[in-house]
Amino acid sequence: MPTLIATVEVPTAVSNTPTALPANMVIPEESKALYQELSSDLNQFEVKISQQPKARAQTTTFGVELSFANGNAGEALLTPEVMAYNRAMLDRLQSMGVRGVVLSINYPLLKKGFPRADEYLKFYQAVTDLCHQHKMKVLIESGAIFSGTPSPVKVDWSKETTDSFLQGLQDQLVLISTEIKPDYLTLANEPSTEEALTQLSIPADKWQTFLEDSLKKVDRSSGTLYGAGTGTWEHPEYMQAVFNVSGLDYVDLHIYPFNKDGIFLDRAVNYANQARTAGKKVVISECWLYKASANELSANIMGNKEKIQDRDGFSFWTPLDTRYMKDIITLADSTQMDFVSFFWSRNFFYNMIYNPDIANLTIQQRNQMMTLGAIQSVNQDKLSDLGQAYQQILSQRELK
């Protein structure tokens, strides 16, 4: 499953955060072939988008995943430091022109009897209120927690059946709808990820029944919009199940890998058009330039997630990341999307300059370096080159 995880590591101090070197775009030899392949895939995507009907810029809400509120971090979220990080990040995001936030509240964090469930609920209520105070719309998604991979939260999925898992997830969604009341609530996404994490079988017909039943139980009185979707890499039968559910307000896409010649990006365009034809709104709650080759994906669509997501931290990807963002925004305009969120919010504040010393660190060390660097940059009101590019894109849109 190519969805990336923003695990919060709460440092005791940030004084040891490495100082960024002057930006440069030196691409290491081992990354040049992948860089060229991804550039070619973007070419294919841009040709596909160019065939779409021309459209003026829409009133799409553009946002980010709030990295320091990702449920996979577990109890680290419940520290005063993390709430302070989120408040500071929201200040910076607001000044960038970001108008939406995605919160990932993973199951079973809010389940009755789960350790500190009441505290998690209060945390997400407070974060949602804070987002609204910053004039940002909130989209919440909820799925199985990444137990042990790399989330520190431990869940024994072997004690669950498919039915008990889906019932527990539904109960959490109903609680979110009544007690947190986000602007958007995605009932389900990435069924293959749920299967991989839990080792439970969730066929498309059961997926559809779950969505239909959940829609009957969530709170409709607050104005929350309800949606569902899949990753573009997943079997199309799951997306068809989503389209079969008539009561959904929106279809939610997750866009990561390209696959050969950008076929998964083609699916994104086709799904968005199909949703609009069906009278549903379109949302992208997760997307990022997934830095895996077609060969890597062919060997295993789930790939080596930690190795692949580790590539994101380096600054030499900035030109491709910027181009990808612009392409997604063009797609959003041409298909009149409601809400689009880019995943790695910390990358808008800090990127690592590639050098042999950093390359020789472990993945865990580089992840900590990224987290600490982002925290320091947020506190100092600094943006990375990628963050500046996103700010410029959003500013230009507001001027139109």
- Averages of pLDDT over runs of 10 residues in the chain (400 residues) are 43 38 71 94 88 75 95 94 95 97 97 97 98 98 86 92 97 98 97 93 96 96 96 93 95 88 82 93 96 81 75 94 94 92 96 92 92 94 96 87
Q: Is the peptide bond before 11 cis (omega within 30 degrees of 0)?
A: no
pLDDT at position 4 = 36
Geometric angle at alpha carbon 351, from 10 and 42, rounded to 5°: 125
* Angle between helix 263-277 and helix 32-50 axes, rounded to 10 deg: 30
pLDDT at position 17 = 38
pLDDT at position 20 = 39
CB 101 within 8 A of CB 90: yes
Listed residue (323, 230, 326, 312) closest to 271, CA to CA: 230
Looking up tokens 């997934």, which residue turns up? 290
Rounded to 10 degrees, the C-alpha dihedral 355/356/357/358 comes to 60
The conformational region for residue 259 under phi > 0 = left, psi -120 to 50 = alpha, else beta, is left
CA distance 342 to 62: 8
Listed residue (378, 375, 376, 354) closest to 366, CA to CA: 354
pLDDT at position 47 = 87
Which residues 6+ apart lie within 8 Å of 80 measured at CB? none
CA distance 130 to 136: 9
Read off φ and ψ for residue 271, nearest 5 degrees: -65, -40
CB 128 within 8 A of CB 164: no
Structure tokens at 150: 């790399």
CA 258, 344, 137, 385 torsion-angle sign: negative
CA distance 386 to 318: 6
Stated as kind and residue range, the H or E segment containing 150 is none
Q: Work out whether strand 184-186 and strand 225-231 pair parallel, antiparallel, or are unpaired.
A: parallel
The amino acid at 260: K
In the chain, what are the domain boundaries? 29-399
Geometric angle at alpha carbon 66, from 393 and 124, rounded to 5°: 140
Sheet strands (E) in 188-320: 225-231, 250-255, 281-287
Is residue 122 helix, strand or coil? helix
Q: Look at the pTM and tell me if it is higher than 0.85.
A: yes
Domain 29-399: CATH architecture, name and number where available: Alpha-Beta Barrel (3.20)
Beta bridge partners of 165: none
Structure tokens at 251: 């279809």
